C-alpha cells in the first residue's frame, strides 16, 4: 500500500490538472491533501481522482467558505469517517480528518495541517493532536500531514530559535509515534518547503504508532514536476509505503 500526502498550495489553482496527474503517477492507494478547497481547481482534482478509482472521498471543506483551506482524503478502499475536528482548536474542523480504512482491520489514517501562526491556534492544534495520539486505542494508525514545524538544528537550513517541535514532534515520539522519515533517514537534511528567502525546512511528516510501524518499509519525499519541469506546489509530497497488516 502507498499513502501520499501533499500540500497542494492554495487549492491547486491553474496547476490542478497537473497535480492530479502527478498524484496518479505516484500510484497511491490513499491520497491525503492539505490546502484543498471548495473551489473549482480543487474540485477538479477530486473528480479526476474519483474517475481514476479513488471514489471513496472525505473533505473538511466549509461549504459556506469555499476559498478556505481544508484537508481531504481519497482512497481506493472504503473510508469510514471517524472525526473531522480536533477539540478546542480554532478552525479545527478544517485542518483534521480521521478515517478508518477497510483495506486492513482497524487501520486508521489521520490527515493533519497545523496552523502556521500561534494566533490561529497553532499550539492548541499541537496539544490536541498529541492528546489524540496519547489516548489512541483504535489499532494501527498513521497521522500524516503538514505539521508546520521541524526539529531545530536538523530539519532546517537556517536555525530557527522557536522550537515548536518540542510541543508536538518530541511528545509524539515520546509516546511511541515515530516520525517515519527519520526512521529510514536519521540524519538527512531534506527540506519539504522553502521560505521566500530560500531557507529550507522539513515541515511535512508521517507519524506512525507502534502497531503499524512494522508494516512500513519506505518513507520519502517527492516534489513532483509538471510537463514544463516546474514544481507543482511549494511543498514536497510524502510517499509512505507499507505492507498491509493482516
| Domain boundaries along the sequence of the chain | 2-242
Q: Which of 6-10, 49-53, 156-160, 207-211 has the lowest mean pLDDT?
A: 156-160
Instruction: Give residue-wise pLDDT tens across range 165-196.
Output: 999 999 999 999 999 999 999 999 999 999 98
Strand locations in 102-168, DSSP E? 108-113, 141-146
Hey, what CATH topology would domain 2-242 get? Deoxyribonuclease I; Chain A (3.60.10)
Q: What is the DSSP letter of 111?
A: E
User: Which helix (H) or strand (E) element contains residue 30?
Assistant: strand 30-36
Q: How far apart are CA 94 and CA 37, in angstroms?
A: 10
pLDDT score of 161 more than 60: no
Q: How far apart are CA 109 and CA 113, in angstroms?
A: 13
Instruction: Give residue-wise pLDDT tens across range 90-127.
Output: 989 999 999 999 998 899 999 999 999 988 999 999 99
Q: For the chain, what percent of residues have pLDDT higher than 70?
A: 98
Q: How far apart are CA 230 and CA 228, in angstroms?
A: 5
Amino acid at each position: 500500500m502507498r499513502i501520499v500526502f501533499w500540500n497542494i498550495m492554495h487549492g491547486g489553482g491553474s496547476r490542478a490538472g497537473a497535480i492530479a496527474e502527478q498524484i496518479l503517477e505516484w500510484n497511491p492507494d490513499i491520497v491525503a491533501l492539505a490546502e484543498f478547497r471548495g473551489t473549482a481547481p480543487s474540485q477538479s482534482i477530486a473528480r479526476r481522482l474519483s474517475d481514476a478509482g479513488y471514489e471513496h472521498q472525505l473533505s473538511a471543506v466549509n461549504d459556506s467558505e469555499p476559498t478556505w483551506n481544508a484537508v481531504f482524503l481519497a482512497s481506493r478502499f472504503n473510508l469510514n469517517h471517524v472525526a473531522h475536528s480536533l477539540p478546542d482548536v480554532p478552525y479545527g474542523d478544517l485542518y483534521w480528518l480521521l478515517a478508518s480504512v477497510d483495506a486492513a482491520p482497524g487501520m486508521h489514517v489521520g490527515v493533519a495541517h497545523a496552523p502556521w501562526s500561534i494566533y490561529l491556534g497553532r499550539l492548541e492544534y499541537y496539544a490536541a493532536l498529541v492528546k489524540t495520539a496519547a489516548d489512541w486505542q483504535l489499532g494501527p494508525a498513521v497521522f500524516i500531514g503538514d505539521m508546520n514545524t521541524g526539529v531545530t538544528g536538523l530539519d532546517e537550513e537556517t536555525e530557527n530559535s522557536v522550537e515548536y517541535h518540542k510541543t508536538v514532534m518530541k511528545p509524539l515520539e515520546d509516546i511511541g509515534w515515530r516520525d517515519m522519515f527519520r526512521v529510514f533517514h536519521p540524519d538527512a537534511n531534506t527540506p519539504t518547503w522553502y521560505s521566500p528567502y530560500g531557507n529550507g525546512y522539513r515541515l511535512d511528516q508521517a507519524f506512525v504508532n507502534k502497531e503499524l510501524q512494522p508494516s512500513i518499509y519506505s518513507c520519502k519525499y517527492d516534489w513532483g514536476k509538471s510537463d514544463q519541469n516546474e514544481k507543482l506546489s511549494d511543498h514536497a509530497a510524502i510517499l509512505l509505503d507499507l505492507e498491509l497488516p493482516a
